[in-house]
Structure 1
Amino acid sequence: MADADGMKAVNARVSATWRNLTLLALGQAFWPLFVFVCLFLSAALVGLFDRVEPAIGAVMTLVVFVGSAILLFRGLRRYRPPTRAEASERLDRQSDLRPLTSLADRPADPTRGAQRLWASHRARLMAELKNLRPPSLSAAWKALDPFLLRAILPLAVVAFAVLASSQAPGRVLRALSPDYGALVGADDMVVEAWITPPEHTGRAPIFLKPGLEGVRVPKGSEVTLRTEAPSAPRLVLKGKKRHSQAFVATPDGAYEAKAKVMEDTRLSVDWWGERAAWKLLASPDDPPTARFVAIPSIGTQDRIEFTWGATDDYGVKTLELAISLREPNPAAPAAEDRVSVPLPGVTPTEGADTVQLDLTRHRWAGLPVNVRLIATDGAGQEGTSETVPFILPEKLFLEPVARVAQEVRVTVLREPREYAEQPTNEQALQQDALNTNAANRLATAPPDVQKAALMLDAVTLHGERYMPDIAAFLTFRTAEGILRAAGSKAEADAIDPLLWALALKSEYGSSADALRRLEAARRALEQALRDGASEEEIKRRMEAFRDAANNYLAAKMAEAMANGLDAPPSNEDGQAAAGGPNLGGQDFEDMLQALQDLTETGATDQARQLLSDITNMLQNLEFQKGSGSGKGMPGMPGQNADNEDEPLPPEEQELTDAMKRLSDILREQRELNDDTLAQERGERPSQGSEQPGEGAEPGEQAGTQPGQQPGGAEPGGDQQAGNGSQPGDTPGAGAGEGDQADTDQAGTGPGSRPSNETLAERQARLGELVEKFAREQGLGETGVPGENALEGHVDSDALADIRDAQRRAQGALEQGNERAAAREQERATQLLSDQSSSLASTLDAMREARTGDRSAGDSTDPLGRNANGGGNNGDNVNIPDAGERQRAKDILDELRRRYNDADDEEEREYLRRLLERF
């Protein structure tokens, strides 16, 4: 047992000696490589490779790799590993007894005495083994490493690693993998990258700068990268999957790559290493939502009316009303029609509006249906509202011809089935053969189309004898011919516009055609405003709408006169509206001009609202038959609502005359304001602002009837105003004719100003008219009530404010400050308009108290204006004044100028998007 323990100790000492010899052999073979690697690691940890140029760093790393390979190769050649025999010999050499070698001997004499002697010798050897120690080899190490670099260098590496802290792995990694592309000039390569969001988002392009991380972009954006390099780089996209693609050469010698960003993606450009990289975060595009705020109901003129609401993160592109039959035809159970719903603006992110849709022409008009809203965003995603049951309104046709046309029309349109295939007849292809199948196309038509053809055949049987309107008879025969010649359902549906036009003409007369043109022009203009069409296209459609409106007015006037209207009603501006383009007077022209200004300045929401108001006003136009005295329409100023031959009470007549005078002053003040704005822009004041008849005989204007009062008074009304007053009446009554004539003869009244007046002189003359108006109503020059003032009817403070604004405007014009003058003129115009509205309300209350008719105050003329003589001040329609419209034009011109002068590409892109939107 003791011998076994001793041998274990001997083996341990031999192993330790072998390890020391092996370490020394490694040191002798790889000592240069060890020093070289330690120096490299120290340089890397202190950041030396990060501080030098990329090309120098790449060369240094290459030198390290090449040098390390050479030293490693030399070390492998020089390395001689020691054996255990060498270790035993080195250990055994320490004792003269050579215990390790002696223990391996065996006694030659087997006698007992020899054995005792060997045992004694063995014990002595075992005791000598305890004195053996592994050699230190210090002399060899000192000769190999006299400066103890084997300890200093590792300690230095550890110290530098501690100082570098968390940056140590990165520094070493960058030192081991430098930018080798810098050796061929890749470090000078510039990568330009930008993100183009989807068009429906309305967002500007995003330019990616180097080093940006976590850039959030809309889902579906397109990234474009462009660079110049000796060869094509590669674009690497790392999302859920890795994808790479090569750049494509462009005609100008550069390289370009494009990709879609549909998820969170890391973008990198590789060419001899990573040249650029960005982390892009894709924002999801949620589908839109749509809802009924108010469920559909039947509104005016058989229109479907409802209030909708819709939202989307980037804007709703289209909104449609989906219509399906509650009890569908078995042949088409999934049939659904979609009707476009106008949106208040271009792709609103959140909107709500009340709309009226004319669906009386729809094929399912009069049937129970289910309706729902479908909102679509720019990405094509749809959001659907709840389904609401409804009965589509249908137009009521009373004329027999119109009813027949409508019945035949819906019979064809409601048929969902297609024509059957024509049977082939090979004999018909022979010469002189008759293709009877092709000649009888109606036999392959669906049942309802055949039924409609039979209905038309029955209606037109000897129709030339019994139909008073030969045009209706020919229309029916034409529709029957279309059905017999049709070879498909689409061809059969061509009878729709033909029969619909016949039904409208038979039921409503010739003005229906003009109304259709007006509605078509309105839809075209509204579509252009909603879609952001070009300025030229909007201008063209605006002119079409203006022509359609004037044609519709002319048609309604002609129809009214044919029905017994004695003479065209005169408007309050003094222009005879004989069915011509000026029907409605200056107020209607102002509405059209304001609409045109709004379209030109990009105020699409206001333009669409005004367009809707004008269209509704025209559609509600109704003329009434007069009494034969040329008074025009009942309810106009100067008429008694109860008895047209009975004069108005003195107080009402006085208010009526005051309102007429105030309306004339208001109109000329507006014209002066427009001319001031024109002069401020450097334009010549419009000569069109001069009233017709300038230079004519006093008291008589061009376009007025003999005896008609300038300013728009009716002949009959003037007789009541001037002759109906008695000597004892209140002063001011009856002044509407005599005083006005005196004013015109003096050349100072509205409508007869000298043509060579300056703007300041015109403003001074208007101020004198206001002072004269105040004196005629029993007020002092400064607005102090006199003895005969109409208490509570004419606001003296308002007149004083008007005169003060006019004086300020006159002073500004004399000093050449048109901008300040325009502001004061706008203030005077607004005060005059408010005073006119106040007098109109007072007159309405008087009439209601006298007649007991609450509708007296709501009487309107054919254009929807107040028919109480006060003139229309634009309260019913929101029309921005001329100053606001001009400022909008100036802003638009400034945007265009800055766009043309801008040098920065981002600024130009921003201005371009502004111009596209406005």
Structure 2
Amino acid sequence: MAIEPTSLGPLLTRLRVPLTLTWAGMIAERLVHAFWPLWTLCAAVAGVLMLGLHEMVPVDIVWALLVAVVVLFAVFAGQGLLKFRWPRRAEALARLDAALPGHPLTALSDRQVIGAGDHASRALWRAHLARMERKAAEARAVEPDLKLSRKDVFGLRYVALLGLLVALMFGSVWRVGSVTEMGPGGSGAALADTATWEGWIEPPAYTGRPSLYLNDLDGTIEAPVGSRVTLRFYGQVGALSLSETVSGRTEDVGAATDPDQSFDITRDGEMRIDGPNGESWQVTALPDAAPTAEILSDGMKTTFDGQMSQPFRAEDDYGVTGGTARFTLDLGAVDRRYGLSADPDPRDPIELTLPMPVAGDRSEFVETLIENLSQHAWAHLPVMLTLEVSDDAGQLGQSAPESMKLPARRFFDPVAASIIEQRRDLLWTKSNGRRVVQMLRAISHAPEPGLFRSDTAYLKLRVIMRRLDTLVSHGSLADETQAEIAEALWDLAVLLEDGDIGDALERMREAQERLSEAIKRGATDEEIAQLMQELRDATQDYLRQKSQQAQRETDEPDNRELTENMMRMDSQDLQDMMDRIQELMEQGRMAEAQQALEEFQEMMENLRVTEGQQGQGGESPGQQAMEGLAETLRDQQGLSDQAFRDLQEQFNPNAQAGESQGNQGRSGGQGQGQQHEGLDGQGEGEGQQRGGRGDPLAGDSEGSLADRQEALRRRLDAQRDSLPGGGSEAGEAARDALDRAGRAMDGAEEALRGNDMAEAIDRQSEAMEALREGMRNLGEALAENNETQGGQGQALGQFGDQQSDPLGRIPGRGGQVGTQDELLQGEDVYRRARELLDEIRRRSGEGERPEVERNYLRRLLDRF
């Protein structure tokens, strides 16, 4: 019930402030509850107009939306007016009284009805009123209820306010007036005279071509197929229009006067903008050619263990992104006899991912596919190889199919070869299971002594045969068990084939005898080529097992490295001789080929004799001379490293000695790498022995760089005077090379005394190169005089090979730099190459590095 203010009298004067605030809160509450849809609509429309969103849609839609907004505005305004009631002062007083305990304002407006004539009753009534007045004096303004969650369950008011806030931050109030220009009577006629446009052509990213700004171009334009054309029309809608024949669009084609135009160039044609400041162009679409691939026959090889190396070439105008090698069985070329007479089980083609260049241009490159398919069911069967490459546009290109036999490992042991053949028949089709069991039973029945290498191998074959027999008898030979049996047969064949080093040597001898007999009886070229390949494989197998045996039997790291170097040289010499034999046979010079084969056999005999002589006797004078020169070369390298560090520190004077960033030479102080300063790098014991004689090379503290260079030159003079191999051409060449090294050392000494570090480094490099040449010549002289252990072919293998180049390659025979190590093989080669490139890029961007070093790093990046 409302309280009449007139009944309260002077109390209202004291309650004027809280009563007024409560009344104002009621007004705000009723306005919010009645008109919240209206102000939500106004906020949303204002945000849209200030952001200019109306400029992005056609004018017809804009006007339709404006009409809808006006209608909604009228509806929401009418609803608000019907709901809104202006609050009276009595209603505000009642709300204030309801917020007080005991409703004191209501009590003060009451009158005493009973006991008005009783004195005590009137006293009690006055005390009651006084207490109510004290409570009323504590009145505070009542907060209005502005919550709309029950009415706006979707929070539309917050969405509208957020849009308005974004418009105030990123929009402009001046855009609101642009809506008047979108209809009749606006300023569209004036804008028609100032209509303008902008346009771009963006070629596909993979082409590497720059974007074209159409406003700067006229006449003829060349752009790759797939380029994106974007046009923007400004001014009155309809003042500018587009006509084009380059996209070939037939569907979803908008109006020619749309402010935004986007399409792709797919063919030659014309593009024209009609209207004020219009322009036209003749567009030539540059086609994206499909990539191509080619299988290269040169360089194709298969190692003794069946690893295939297949070179290929790929090309594309913008770059190849990937490729696949697909091997499919050439069933028509298969010799359908014995186990291959039955129809084969379905088997998917072999698909291998082609390797791509890690860095550089992919528009044209040559790579090598390396894979071992020896355990596949199609091993040594006719297949068709097809390469398929793709580019960024998704185009595919294929090579011409190449007919070949699937490269795989060859088995020379008769039992191992028979087991591999039965494994092939089992994988050909599971219906061959009964036949394979019979063949394995025939192989293992009452074997002759020595047919199987061990009882273990024989028992393994019997176990495999019985299990296969059981599976076939019960009809339970599934794909999984077929694969398990095939794996067991492979392991058994490898066990029988590899055996020990004696078996490998015997197979190599047998291969030599078969090839010699074939040459004598005039066998066909195909048979001789096959026997030659068998000899190569048997020789590789023998050398591999010999190397493994040497590694097992050699405990000392130095001896192990020496043995590996000797084996590497043995392998290279044997390969060179076999290449010579094959070349003679291809030329039809069979007599010379027979003689070369006999020399090959003699070399193998010498190799076996050398095996028994290794480790016997001391070092010859030639060996001592070679070791002394190698030590001199190492010391010269150490001096050159320190000279280079001093040169770096000239460019970085704030760094302490040895702390130049990136220093990785020997004796680097704070740098990284092996110590190589004088003789300290040779080990503690040797350094103490040499240092005890006062050698200036013994350390930094015993002489300047120039003094140490002079001492090293004197040592070289003494070594040259005692050099063996005199009288031979190679020996004289070695002395001449050491003379040049001495003169270069003299020049380095003079440059060091003049503090010309750059000149000193150049002279030291010449000295090292001359030293290496002298060592190569000395090795040839020792080989000619048969002074090194093992005769010819090992001088360089034992000593000349000890000094590797920065890539880890070992100098070969005759001083030829090369390596038998497969430096580019391994699963992590691509990851490692990327890491190296990233490290070079990082170092080239470090400004504190010397300019000479950063220039060198930039040249590396330009090259790779």
TM-score bin, normalised by smaller chain: 0.3 to 0.5
Bigger Rg, structure 1 or 2:
1
Query: Which TM-score applies when normalising by structure 1?
Result: 0.43
Query: Which TM-score applies when normalising by structure 2?
Result: 0.45
